[in-house]
Amino acid sequence: MRYNRIITARQVLEGISDERSQELLNFIAAGENCSDMVGESKMTRKQYYLRVSRFTTLGLIKRVEGRYALTTFGSVVYEAQLRLAVAVNNRWKLKAFDTLYSDNTIPVSERSQLMNQIISDTGKNEIILESFISKDDKAPLIQV
């Protein structure tokens, strides 16, 4: 690995952009034996080693005691990927927030109640969407 190589956000996003790369990253993050993916016919040996090499070059993974593990940088990227997936899966809720804030005919207290109901429907397995009403009440500040 080249230690002085500059890695861009674009390169990282390209490195994890396809479905098989995301699945491999999930396997590694879970601590599973990712070489089983080849045995289960989820990808060929060439596809597997190409992705492992790309992840290693990007600094996302390293080999530890015969297995691959996420680096600290890899953990940050993995968490960002999870947050992005939650945002995509909940985009209709986020769109509902936008709609509530653009409708000035609904009182602020009712808007807050509606938003709290939307948030409470999120479920325990997802990152909870917390909303913060801005001081001027013109734009939502959503924290995922």
- Assess contact for 32 and 40: CB atoms under 8 A: no
Query: In the chain, which residue ranges form alpha helices assigned H by DSSP?
Result: 9-15, 19-29, 36-39, 45-58, 72-89, 91-102, 108-120
Question: How high is the pLDDT of residue 119?
Answer: 67
Question: How high is the pLDDT of residue 139?
Answer: 47
Question: How high is the pLDDT of residue 52?
Answer: 94
Structural domains of the chain ordered from first start? 9-84 (1.10.10.10), 90-143 (no CATH)
Question: How high is the pLDDT of residue 3?
Answer: 56
Give the pLDDT of the chain (144 residues) as one tens digit per residue: 445 578 999 999 999 999 999 999 999 999 888 777 887 767 889 999 999 999 999 999 999 988 999 999 999 999 999 888 888 887 887 787 778 777 777 777 787 777 777 766 655 334 444 443 343 444 444 444
Question: How high is the pLDDT of residue 4?
Answer: 58
Residue 11, C-beta contacts closer than 8 angstroms, at least 6 positions apart: 58
- Assess contact for 62 and 68: CB atoms under 8 A: yes
Question: How high is the pLDDT of residue 93?
Answer: 79
Scan for tokens 């992840």, then name that residue: 55
3-state secondary structure of 141: strand
Question: How high is the pLDDT of residue 77?
Answer: 95
Question: How high is the pLDDT of residue 68?
Answer: 93
Residue 38, C-beta contacts closer than 8 angstroms, at least 6 positions apart: 44, 45, 48
Nearest to 16 by CA among 24, 28, 6, 5: 24
